[in-house]
A and B are shown apart, each in its own frame.
Chain A
């Protein structure tokens, strides 16, 4: 006997097949490459292949209610390896989560809190928009707030939520402001008006909330005149590069690693101070694996005198995710409670195994995740976690001590 819910699974797969993203999930051959490639696949009741199998077999209800629906951390490994080219990360998972929310099933409590924060404050952290520019207090370079002083600039920098509010990230944010200024580009930010880009919300299946954010951000951005839209957050970059255009909002967006890499020649004479460090670089998933930008961050690190670059066993397209994407940032407890583990703990051990003393990152989530992981794994003090920006700034003598 076929119920309405039975059909819904097949209809959802059919819809995805026609969405133009990858090939139809109905072409899945159940090879299991996704499940075994997924760093949390072992703990999932329904890894990607089983999501498809169950949805096709009329068991969509089971899938939507499963805790494993909230265990994908958006690392794209399954999507890129899938031998049938099915877009699992950007397509299947958000669609199922959307369906689950629409069916009135409660997502994990910690997610509900971030949704509410975003709704109320325009950021997942629940911080006041008035504190958006706190990071720039007493900064020795001028921060132009385009929402107050509109004027054409080379770069509109979407600072992002973590880089704006989180103290550890603010250090990086300030360093980047100095680097931008040192490079002679004119740049500005949106100040208190800035809002989250909404990548996580899309991955959570909060398509409606995401669309609202696109609309609000579009209104803001369309008022500004700029050549490049810059982000520190690879997830925001991904959303602006891929999902915003799907809603008619196209901007010339770049992740900071790409932006700086294009200015290597200009940076070369500026990185003079040796930074004595053995560095291993952790590829973030969105700019790395998904957009295959592996060399630019390494070449930036290679610029710095004194830096010795070593590779982890898993690197580049094979890199292991820190566990923070796709909403993972808020789901550690949920994932651990349902048999998973914190990927950042596993990853930092891999970094330590290289013998490096510094783990270089290029994503705002990773700083806090890996610093927490260092504590848990007793690597604190042995392995420093630093953003590429910090290393560059140190070498350019633009580090924190220069605050006037």
Chain B
């Protein structure tokens, strides 16, 4: 018995001293997905981790830590050592919309250091195909005619669809969005779309990928997409068609972040690994099947991108008066 224990102890690395970046990585790297298994972040994160696993010299352990719209998992990474062994799959919800809507979150965006945003999700607004609403103008007229009667569903308070629904309406001239439309939070994107299908809510603005099957089958009708380019499968005006460039800030994204104390050289190594990983054929296939656009930003660009988006959304939330608490 003693022998086994000794053998294991001898074979094990002693991790009492903090590892220098020179020999990074010398043990498995934990990558935390702050959402549940099977969700969009999970599929995307696991696909990238599989590709990274072929490049990074140490194994990558993917871990789901769900709860509170991604806040619980985010806090775990914020509190981790900045040694590059604990990283987060951050998403538009955890690091843009939720911090903007909820000033009481237990973390802020600048407590993280981004090392790569790799995925962009266009956003679309959809309604039930049985609905009288055929264009975004119809929707706006409906809201203006019956303030406080039109509702939209989202994947929960602080999620991207929550923000997107309010923001799109405000861009099209609804002044008091908080008063004039009703937000119905649901358990996730699937449930939010089900609500539209059932007539529980009138519309949904969110990532195109979960909505794509319903649009393809004719159960739902797209009203607009927020990108300037058209999205395959979505026969709807783009932000360019509508001449509304302010919509373009509303896109989903996924990226990798560590705690703020993550050193430059480790961030640089990740920049190189990611550049290689996003070329992986299997990864690209999965992303394409899910309807996301792969676009890798290097560490500096990622930090800029996330900070700009976070600031813009926070300002918008304050101006629209849609923050949860004062």
> Do A and B originate from a single complex?
no
The interface of chain B, by Cβ under 8 A from chain A, is none
Write the residues of chain A forming the contact surface with B, with a CB cutoff of 8 angstroms. Answer: none
